[in-house]
Amino acid sequence: MDRANKIRTRIERQIQAIEEGQLVADTGNLMGGMRDQLKGIATKASPTEAAEIAEDSELYVTEIEEAADILAGDPEIDLAISIDDELEKLESEMLLEQGGEMPEVPADDLQYISDVPLEELPQEDSKDKLEEEIKKLREELEK
Whether residue 84 sits in one domain with residue 41: no
Q: What is the pLDDT of residue 29?
A: 94
CB 39 within 8 A of CB 33: no
Whether residue 96 lies inside any domain: the answer is yes
Could you read off the pLDDT of 44-55 as tens digits, one per residue? Answer: 888 888 888 899
3-state DSSP helix/strand/coil % of the chain, to nearest 5: 80, 0, 20
Q: Would residue 139 count as lying in a domain?
A: no
**How far is the C-alpha of 11 from the C-alpha of 17, rounded, in Å?**
10
Q: For the whole prediction, is pTM greater than 0.75?
A: no
Same domain, yes or no, for 28 and 47?
A: yes
Per-residue confidence at 21, pLDDT binned at 50, 70, 90?
very high
Residue 15 has pLDDT above 80, yes or no: yes
* pLDDT score, position 45: 80
Distance (Å, whole) CA 33 – CA 28 = 9
Each residue's pLDDT tens digit, 108-125: 666 666 665 655 555 555
- C-alpha 82/C-alpha 75 separation (Å) is 8
